[in-house]
Amino acid sequence: MAYKLDPQKMYRMPTHFGPSLGPRQGRNGQQYTNVDSPKKTVVSVSFLSEHEQLEALLPEGFGVNGEPVVTISASYVREIEWLAGRGYNMLGVSFPATFRGQQDRAKGRFLAVLWENLADPIITGREELGFSKIYCELPEYQVVEDEYRCSASWLGFQFLEMRVTNVAQLGTDEIAAHLTRSSYGASRTENLLHYKYMPRTGAWGEADACYATISPAPSPGATINAMWRGVGTVNFRRATWEELPTLFHIVNTLEELVIKEYRGATIVKTVGGGDFRDQSILR
């Protein structure tokens, strides 16, 4: 007798083996508390770019909100409960945006792309949440004296190098003041905006899913244990199709972004955080 899907459970392909496991559904359907884990280090560099260049990256209904400040964030996540204590790394590109739909209005940071170095969070984030997640190699960051170095590559081709120097640790009051005026902390103090697109099988110009989604700013979200401020630089390396056959158009677009001036850099260590269960569609 053929199986039926339980409408009270979450599923992903292959559905034949029962409900899926992941960040929002554990063994026996339990949810994770995410209080004492995961532990995360986020290295972020921001720069002022061109308004028109960022507008060209936005789907219909979106617009750049305020100054066109791009933030590149490399995150190194450990002790993840839904991965049985394992971890993975992320590299995100975001900028401030608004969404105006037929029903909804929202503002936050538009997540243009999020690279990760593990398939499990890529699949769950794309299918369940609508994050624009793709794969690349993200080695651990390096610290040489007071300089943090981050890099990203695909099958050995390094397409990003990011550095933060002149690092100085902030006190509690300085952290609070910094978060109220900076672009850092989209996962803590701002909404994240996304555009979900899934192609329709056999009708390749059509979509099975095509809409905006929002990750509401969590409350209270992750707890900041420590924060440093520094001077950052970002360098995307232009690629050919032969070097990055599925990514060169993304990397080259980011390499072409004008850097008018850098707007600061941070290293932040946090613990805990939400599971994005409150993710929703914007209409």
Per-residue pLDDT of the chain (283 residues; tens, 9 = 90+): 899 999 999 999 999 999 999 999 999 899 999 999 999 999 999 999 999 999 999 999 999 999 999 999 999 999 999 999 999 999 999 999 999 999 999 999 999 999 999 999 999 999 999 999 999 999 999 999 889 999 999 999 999 999 999 999 999 888 887 765 544 343 456 899 999 999 999 999 999 999 999 999 875 678 899 999 999 999 999 999 999 999 999 999 999 999 999 999 999 999 999 899 999 999 9
Predicted local distance difference test score (pLDDT) of residue 174: 86
**Encoded amino acid at 162, one letter:** M
Contact present, 71 and 44 (Cβ < 8 Å): yes
| Res 189: pLDDT | 67
Longest dimension (CA), the chain: 66
Say what the pLDDT of residue 186 is: 39
The structure's pTM equals 0.95
Tell the CATH topology of 38-282. Answer: Acetoacetate decarboxylase-like (2.40.400)
The residue written with tokens 């902030």 in the block is 170
Residue 180 has a pLDDT of: 58
Whole-angstrom Cα distance, residue 75 to residue 92? 8
Give the up-direction half-sphere exposure of residue 245: CA atoms within 13 A in the CB hemisphere: 2
Nearest of 55, 2, 8, 56 to residue 28 by alpha carbon: 8
Measured distance CA(152)–CA(141) in Å, rounded: 10
Q: Where are the domains of the chain?
A: 38-282
The whole-number pLDDT of residue 221 equals 74
Strand pairing category for 192-200 and 261-271: unpaired
Q: CA dist 247 to 48, 182, 241, 244, Å?
A: 24, 30, 8, 5
Minimal CA–CA distance to 194: which of 263, 70, 93? Answer: 93
Residues in CB range of 121: below 8 A, 6 or more apart: 23, 88, 90, 133
